[in-house]
Every structure is written in C-alpha cells, then in structure tokens.
Amino acid sequence: MSIGKTIRIYLDDGLITGIRHAEIVNWTGQAISTPRTRIKQLSDWPESQKPGVYFLFGVDDESGNPALYIGEAENVLDRLANHLANKDFWNEVIFFTSKDENLTKSHVKYLESQLVKIAKTVNRYVLLNGNAPQLSSLPRGDRDSMEEFIVNLRTLLGVMGHKALEPIATHENIQKADSYKSLKVTDTTQNIFHLNIKSVSAKALVSNEGIVVLEGSTVSEQVTESLSGGYKKLRNQLIENCTITLIDGVFKFTKDQLFTSPTQAAAIIVGYAINGRQSWQTCKGVSLKQLEDNIERT
C-alpha cells in the first residue's frame, strides 16, 4: 500500500519559471530549482551554501535530446558558479540540501554515486557525467538514511518537472539497478500486451505516462503512405539514435521506449495507420480497449 505525501512549493517571485523552493512535510531535505539566468540571486539563499547534490538540465549538443549532469559539492553555490563558466549546455539547476547540518561531504558523495547509477539505468536523459563517481564508505545506518533521502529526492525531482530517476517500465531490466532500494515501485503488477501482426512481434507495458514498448520487440521494415508525417518523423528519429536497429536482418528495439499512446506505438511498429487500443492484446487475446471499457463499467 502506497502512502501519500504532502509537498510544499514556494515561488520566490510568484512565477513558476523563477526560483522555486520545495519540501516534503516532515522531511529534513529540501530542493531549490533555479534557471541559469538567476544563479547569482542564490547568494540570498543560505540553503544554497550547504553540502548537497545538484542536477543540471539542458540539451545535448550532438543528439538534440534532453541532457543531464549530476554533481555534488560542499558548497553548492560555489560549484554552480564554476559551471556557469565551464558548462554551456544547461539552462536549469535543481539542487538538494538539508535543513539541518547532518548532510556531510561523505553523504553527498554517496548520493552522487547512487544517483548517477540510477540515471544511467533509467536512461531518460543523455547523461553527461564523464566518469562514474566512486561510492563513499558510510556506516550502515548512514547508508540507509541516504537511501531514504534518495526516495524523497526522486519524489521532489518529479514534482518539479523532471523524471530523470523514474523507470519507464517496471519489469526485470529495472531490477538490475545497483541502487535497488531507490528504484522500488509501488504500482500493481502490470499486464504485458502483445502486438503480433504478420512478421512483427512486440511486447509493451501500459504506464501512467503512456505505453512502454520493451527491448527486443521487432519492427516492420516497410512504411506505407497511411503512416502520418509525425509518426514517420519519430520513427526515423528512433532509427537515427539507434533505439531501433537492424539486427540479423530484423529491425528491433534496443531498449525500452516510452510512447504517448498505444496507437502511436503500434503505428510506428507496423509502419501504417492502426488502432493501437484494439491491436495491443494480453496473452489471452483481450485488447487494451476491452480492458478500458471494463474499467469504465465497473
């Protein structure tokens, strides 16, 4: 059973695009989000001059995809001032510090190492960290406290608009993450849906964000005129970034891929216009539409 959380967000100047302070009630951690253009204003925030971890968000120059850099510092503001001069890709930072004085250099180095591992496993952003940071040695009690810190950090990071630490699918691949405690999910068991049409064989999971086509699913090589221009463009992008790759003469997904709708996923896979809610079916032949209709009636 999942437990609800109460979150408070303070807008420094009343604008959602300005400096935002977020906290979970009864948690000693805190988050501050700031656009790059307002970093200097953080000098008025004592919260920024403590040990903490930070996330730089922007766009990768090579791929054009969302990019992320994760770091730690004994004084977050000092480190961000350095990144203003030396890193161009980012336009927003979200950092996490503690309201008390119990977050030390060893703690934030541990957090940085675990967060980088999680971000690599989730693979939602292009991760620009050059090397995997070494995991600092902590007493058992401190390790568990930091794992709990990561759970709450993930929540606030998502609430503030970035799902960089959220797995796109809850299946066996995610369980391989090093920081398994931080990747625990509370969703109920999901149905695996199948799309088997001619030579195409694909599997997917439905999530709160859309539908996730699973790694290894096959894709039709042919594309017809009925496939919309937007879907053709996305399909080409997936091929260009090697999410869909020709393997042993067959196009396949090389990793889990999130789509906004079952129809979008199905159309890109088969290469023509198709009703995804009717085409995706459970192993018993029940379509996604039938399941949704049943939910509406109950």
**pLDDT at residue 199 tops 80:** yes
Model pLDDT for residues 1-32, shown as the tens digit of each residue? 578 899 999 999 998 889 999 999 999 999 99
For residue 158, report the phi and psi dihedrals to the nearest 5 degrees.
Answer: -65, -40
Strand 66-73 relative to strand 126-127, pairing: parallel
Sheet containing strand 244-247, edge to edge, reads 218-219, 250-253, 244-247
Q: How many Å apart are CA 34 and CA 81, to the nearest integer?
A: 13
Report strand pairing: 66-73 vs 244-247.
unpaired
Residue 72 in any domain: the answer is yes
> Has residue 204 been placed in a domain?
yes
pLDDT at 294: 75
Q: Which domain holds residue 275?
A: 192-297
Q: Are residues 222 and 126 in the same domain?
A: no
Residue 152 has phi, psi (to 5 degrees) of -70, -35
Same domain? 214 vs 264: yes
Kindly state whether residues 162 and 211 are assigned to the same domain. Answer: no
Q: Taking a C-beta distance cutoff of 8 angstroms, is the pair 68, 56 a contact?
A: yes
What mean pLDDT value characterizes the chain? Answer: 88
DSSP bridge partners of 71: 54
Q: Confidence band (pLDDT; 50, 70, 90) for 138? A: very high
Shared domain check, 231 and 168? no
Q: With a cut of 60, say whether residue 297 has pLDDT above it.
A: no
Residues 123 and 246 in one domain: no
Band the pLDDT of 170: cuts 50, 70, 90. Answer: low
Residues 121 and 15 in one domain: yes
Q: In total, how many domains does the chain have?
A: 2
Query: Does one domain contain both 21 and 158?
Result: yes
Is position 264 within any domain?
A: yes
57/145 same-domain check: yes
> Do both 110 and 200 map to the same domain?
no
pLDDT in the model for residue 130: 85
> Same domain for 22 and 48?
yes
**Is pLDDT of 135 > 90?**
no
Q: What is the pLDDT of residue 185?
A: 38
Compare 210 and 148 and report the one with higher pLDDT: 148
- Whether 186 shows a pLDDT value over 50: the answer reads no
On whether residue 1 sits in a domain, the answer given is: no
Residues 148 and 206 in one domain: no
How many Å apart are CA 150 and CA 30, to the nearest integer?
12
186 in any annotated domain: no
